[in-house]
Amino acid sequence: MSILVLADLHEGQLAGATASVVAAAQQIIKDSGGDIDVLIAGDNVHAAAEAAAKLDGVSKVRVADNAVYAHQLAEPMGKLLAELAGDYTHVLASASTTGKNVMPRLAALKDVSQISDIISVESADTFKRPIYAGNAIATVKSDDALKVITVRPSAYDGVAESGGAPVEAVDVVVENSQSTFINEALAKSDRPELAGAKVVISGGRGMGNGENFKLLDGIADKLGAAIGASRAAVDAGFVPNDMQVGQTGKIVAPDLYIAVGISGAIQHLAGMKDAKVIVAINKDEEAPIFQVADYGLVADLFEALPEFEQKL
């Protein structure tokens, strides 16, 4: 058993999801043993490689540092992974937009199926994953020689950072004349990353407009929370789409999720119903969100939020 983990990068730095994917890899090798190697691919990624080397359970870090891998475009990344995959029984990545973009390309190049977004490892070839927006959990078994898997990061606590794995260079360089990076518009925020935050407070259509999302700022600051949104709030233009929690947005599983002015549509619940504690603040006492909320407050959010902030 030997596993390659494709590391997630965010602006060239190692993203937190990688520690969760390594935790899933440890589950796979639990019974039989084996190596877990981490692949860092990008342009000028020494810092990310150093950070990955500290993750517990990592055997070695392989670094493909070349301009062709900048921004992890799918075409060169697919070729790189296909070159390296021969040494491994499993290739894992987080179910981030990068993992989702690149991994099916690897799977098809190796003529194997992919298992997306696993939430549990039953054995080295059997995994659980949600289907139908999380309304059913499928157990699937793969008989492919190479298992290509994406891991839902919120389903695993990341491994600790006390290790010191060796770092080695990968000299595979591929050509790419098919795709070119033009630019990126990344949302800037001092708050924790939504997908990894311990506390998330989200607003929905009930917020009324984008300006009113400021009512969440003070509470988020006091709780160290990330701010999310429902699709209704994103579609209405209140907030940018990278804040969306749900089937088509981000999947979160924080300790505390506070849903404000969110009715609780199936697609939104798919993104947050694994939170440990759910609080709903909504003036409609019939809203479906109250059926999953541990604590529900039927109240006008414009009165409840300032009071909540002040009393925290």
Partner 1 sequence: MKVLVAVKRVIDYNVKIRVKPDNSNVDLTNVKMAMNPFCEIAVEEAVRLKEKGVATEIVAVTIGPKQAQEQLRTALALGADRAIHVETDEQVDSLGAAKAFAKLVEDEQPGLVLLGKQAIDSDNNQAGQMLAALTDLPQGTFASDVNVEGEKVTVTREIDGGLQTIELSLPAIITTDLRLNEPRYAKLPDIMKAKKKPLDVKSADDLGVSFASNVSLVSVEPPAERQGGIKVGSVDELIDKLKNEAKVL
Residues 63-92 that bind partner 1 (CB under 8 A): 71, 73-75, 78
Q: Site for partner 1 (CB under 8 A): which residue of 67, 131, 160, 169?
A: 131
Cβ distance to partner 1 smaller for residue 46 or 141: 141
Work out whether 9 is an interface residue with partner 1 (CB under 8 A): no
Q: How far is the CB of 127 from partner 1 (least distance, A)?
A: 10
270-299 residues in contact with partner 1 (CB under 8 A) are 273, 276-279, 285, 290-299
Q: Site for partner 1 (CB under 8 A): which residue of 18, 20, 26, 142?
A: 142
Work out whether 267 is an interface residue with partner 1 (CB under 8 A): yes
Work out whether 100 is an interface residue with partner 1 (CB under 8 A): yes
Work out whether 96 is an interface residue with partner 1 (CB under 8 A): yes
β 13-14/9-10 pair status: antiparallel
Q: Site for partner 1 (CB under 8 A): which residue of 1, 2, 16, 109?
A: 109
Q: How far is the CB of 255 from partner 1 (least distance, A)?
A: 5
Q: Site for partner 1 (CB under 8 A): which residue of 47, 87, 248, 284?
A: 248
Cβ distance to partner 1 smaller for residue 6 or 223: 223
Distances (CA, A) of 56 to 52, 117, 121, 157, 221: 9, 22, 19, 12, 31
Work out whether 181 is an interface residue with partner 1 (CB under 8 A): yes
Distances (CA, A) of 308 to 159, 248, 270, 304: 34, 30, 26, 6
**How many whole angstroms separate alpha carbon 53 and alpha carbon 59?**
8
**How many whole angstroms separate alpha carbon 278 and alpha carbon 13?**
31
Do 54 and 188 contact (CB within 8 A), yes or no? no
Do 120 and 127 contact (CB within 8 A), yes or no? yes
- Residues with Cβ within 8 Å of 211's Cβ and at least 6 positions away in sequence, in order, are none
Q: Site for partner 1 (CB under 8 A): which residue of 136, 162, 190, 286?
A: 136
| Residue 26, both tokens | 């440890």
- Considering only 21-29, 49-57, 60-68, 231-239, which stretch makes contact with partner 1 by CB under 8 A? 231-239
- Residues with Cβ within 8 Å of 218's Cβ and at least 6 positions away in sequence, in order, are 309
Distances (CA, A) of 222 to 128, 203, 225: 36, 17, 8
Cβ distance to partner 1 smaller for residue 186 or 211: 186
Q: Site for partner 1 (CB under 8 A): which residue of 171, 177, 190, 211?
A: 177
- Considering only 57-65, 84-92, 111-119, 165-173, which stretch makes contact with partner 1 by CB under 8 A? 111-119
- Considering only 20-28, 39-47, 57-65, 238-246, which stretch makes contact with partner 1 by CB under 8 A? 238-246
**How many whole angstroms separate alpha carbon 296 and alpha carbon 280?**
5
Distances (CA, A) of 39 to 48, 106, 149, 286, 308: 10, 14, 15, 49, 45
